[in-house]
């Protein structure tokens, strides 16, 4: 197995009086796609938000690329190399696609602009709508813009939350193809309820239930285990 780019050990997270994560431990291997599975309310999205510093851990450790980040603010986590794509297609609808990209760049370096060639290969519609307001894009195009915005920064890890939510099956198939190409360029941690997408993109998986990891392994083994698949839904 490749080395871990991200490790969580005994992570607890509270939202007000609610104890959401109750000792989550997991690792994401560098250069692979790791999928977090489980029923609604299991703690999957909170895990991503905890890594990002949006809902800080109350106990435990979060180590990214050899650096402890459990106490870091969200902007510091982003600058360390973690990109975050929330489930609500977080794009600035009143700005053009180009302006969305300019704001997403930590700095407008030649390296950042060079990534546009890769982005246009992955998401061809974004080139077509480069000068258009993001608000005119379809739901699938907005999701692709949100993912591309996270990728354009100098990020070694992308956290992507429910990318297929609300999308038509044909758009999901396009998203699968794009994510499979994207993981050739960066490490991905994906929260996804659509098992078809998860199984087509993921290399490794963790199943969460009631704020704890209850099972993990290789995605190809999960695909063949009908009983375990039921527990991941």
The domain locations on the chain are 4-231
Residue 216 has pLDDT above 80, yes or no: yes
With contact defined as beta carbons under 8 Å apart, do 100 and 149 qualify?
yes
Please spell the DSSP secondary structure of 175-186, one letter per residue.
Answer: HHHHHHHHTTTS
> What is d(CA 211, CA 58) in angstroms, rounded to the nearest whole number?
13
pLDDT at 55: 96
User: Residue 132: helix, strand or coil by DSSP?
Assistant: coil
- pLDDT above 90 as % of the chain: 73
Question: At 233, is the pLDDT very low, low, confident or very high (cuts 50, 70, 90)?
Answer: low
Residue 231 has pLDDT above 70, yes or no: no
In this predicted model, what pLDDT tens digit does every residue of 112-167 receive, in sequence order?
Answer: 777 888 888 888 889 999 999 999 999 889 999 999 888 887 789 999 999 998 88
CATH architecture under which domain 4-231 falls: 3-Layer(aba) Sandwich (3.40)
pLDDT at 59: 98
pTM score above 0.85: yes
Least confident of 20-34, 165-179, 196-210: 165-179
Considering the chain, what is the average pLDDT of its residues? 92
Q: ∠ CA 54-122-33 to the nearest 5 degrees?
A: 50
Q: Under the phi-then-psi rule, with left for phi > 0, alpha for psi from -120 to 50, and beta for the rest, what region is 231?
A: alpha
> What is d(CA 210, CA 127) in angstroms, rounded to the nearest whole number?
42
In this predicted model, what pLDDT tens digit does every residue of 42-58 receive, in sequence order?
Answer: 999 999 999 999 999 99
Q: Cβ contacts of residue 23 below 8 Å, gap of 6+? A: 10, 11, 12, 60, 211, 212
For residue 188, which of 177, 201, 199 has the smallest C-alpha distance? 201
Q: Cβ contacts of residue 43 below 8 Å, gap of 6+? A: 13, 20, 21, 22, 24, 208, 210, 211, 212
- pLDDT above 70 as % of the chain: 97
Identify the H or E element spanning 123: none
User: Residue 187: helix, strand or coil by DSSP?
Assistant: strand
């Amino acid at each position: 197995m490749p080395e871990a780019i991200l490790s969580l050990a005994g992570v607890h997270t509270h939202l007000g009086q609610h104890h959401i994560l109750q000792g989550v431990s997991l690792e994401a291997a560098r250069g692979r796609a790791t999928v977090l599975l489980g029923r609604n309310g299991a703690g999957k999205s909170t895990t991503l938000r905890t890594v990002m510093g949006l809902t800080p851990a109350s106990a435990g450790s979060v180590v990214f690329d050899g650096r402890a980040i459990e106490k870091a603010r969200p902007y510091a986590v982003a600058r360390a190399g973690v990109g975050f794509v929330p489930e609500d297609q977080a794009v600035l609808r009143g700005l053009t696609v180009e302006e969305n990209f300019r704001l997403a760049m930590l700095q407008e370096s030649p390296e950042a602009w060079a990534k546009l060639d890769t982005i246009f290969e992955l998401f061809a519609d974004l080139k077509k709508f480069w000068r258009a307001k993001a608000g005119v894009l379809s739901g699938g195009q907005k999701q692709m813009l949100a993912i591309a915005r996270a990728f354009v920064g100098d990020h070694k890890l992308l956290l992507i939350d429910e990318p297929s939510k609300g999308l038509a099956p044909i758009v999901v198939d396009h998203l699968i193809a794009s994510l499979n190409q994207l993981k050739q360029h960066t490490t991905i941690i994906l929260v996804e309820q659509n098992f078809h997408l998860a199984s087509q993109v993921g290399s490794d998986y963790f199943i969460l239930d009631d704020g704890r990891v209850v099972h993990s392994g290789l995605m190809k083994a999960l695909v063949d285990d009908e009983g375990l698949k039921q527990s991941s839904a």
